Amino acid sequence: MTQPKFFEGVFPAITTPFHQDGSVDHAFLRDHARWMMREGSRGIVPLGSLGEGNTLEESEKIAILETLVDALGDAPVIPGIGSLSTQGAVRLARAARDVGCQGLMVLPPYVYTSDWREMKAHMAAVISATELPVILYNNPIAYRTDFLPAHILELAGDHPNVRAVKESSADVRRATALAAALPAHVELMVGVDDLLLEGVLAGATGWIAGLVNAYPAESVRLFDLARAGRLAEATELYRWFLPLLRLDTGIKFVQLIKQVQEETGHGSAQVRAPRLSLAPEEIGEVRQIVQQAAARQPALV
């Protein structure tokens, strides 16, 4: 019997809000997550690339997870599990389970990358550290480790709790290959905002989204139209959304998306070093994109 699709739908890769002094703003985090859930999101994915997970201390990560689990009740909190070491990632995975998270998104190790033998050993240790369902996160652009379809199939075959793949290689051919090869219990999730429609057409059933932090209703509507095969409506909304979605694809995507949040009244542009706030000319470019989008805001029916 086919298992239910646990990771189907829109899952915001939630940004981490900071106070001016650099500490985590837990009150805003709580409210922001609840708002995105009310707009139709299926769960929340903290501590990933957009969540600036690699700048957070382990104690801060656990505190963030405690806040989100408490705020969202039964809604899934699926944290990114990343660390400099395998030991650290295993420890964080178990801490996430213990505070009530319902799944994990497992990243390759920060900084160090090598051959498949070493990367497989790292991923296997983290995946098997708990019984929670796991999303494998493939982002070779950010982490310099590329999990090829054969690697993903190997991990899925060895570990029954591997239930999804967040594919962020930005290669739609990779998504097509994975959709054709993955076993029925492993879902394909889009991990790059400006490939959402192409990813769903290739067979993706979930979206770990970035601009959802400012536009949750539009993100959910776009995903639902695409999944329903209503391509004319989905394409119209997608074309409106694309200038914003493309902000998810550059080196400064965290700063850009947080700036969009500030421009739309849904967060602060505050980031944590080594990231710096955008330069004035960059802020002006983001503001222009947001204003142009507002002038052509589609009706969501």
Q: Is 208 annotated as a binding residue?
A: yes
Range 9-234: architecture per CATH = Alpha-Beta Barrel (3.20)
pLDDT of residue 4: 53
pTM: 0.95
Residues 90, 96: Cα–Cα separation, whole Å = 10
pLDDT of residue 298: 87
The whole-angstrom distance between residue 244's C-alpha and the CA centroid of its chain comes to 16
* Sequential DSSP letters for 226-264: HHTT-HHHHHHHHHHHHHHHGGGGSTTHHHHHHHHHHHH
Domain layout of the chain by residue ranges: 9-234
Closest CA to 171 of 150, 140, 207: 140
Helical H runs in 20-139? 26-38, 58-72, 86-99, 116-127
**pLDDT at site 163:** 97
- Active-site residue flag, 166: yes
- Coil, helix or strand for 104? strand
Q: What is the pLDDT of residue 21?
A: 96
Among 166, 215, 238, 258, the one annotated catalytic: 166
- pLDDT tens per residue across all 301 residues of the chain: 445 588 999 999 999 999 999 999 999 999 999 999 999 999 999 999 999 999 999 999 999 999 999 999 999 999 999 999 999 999 999 999 999 999 999 999 999 989 999 999 999 999 999 999 999 999 887 788 889 999 999 999 999 999 999 998 888 888 899 989 999 999 999 999 999 999 999 999 999 999 999 999 999 999 999 999 999 999 999 999 999 999 998 999 999 999 999 999 999 999 999 999 999 999 999 999 999 999 998 888 7
Angle of CA points 217, 221, 224, to nearest 5°: 140
Q: Tokens 């493309």 — which residue? A: 246
Give the span between the Cα atoms of 73 and 69, in whole angstroms: 6
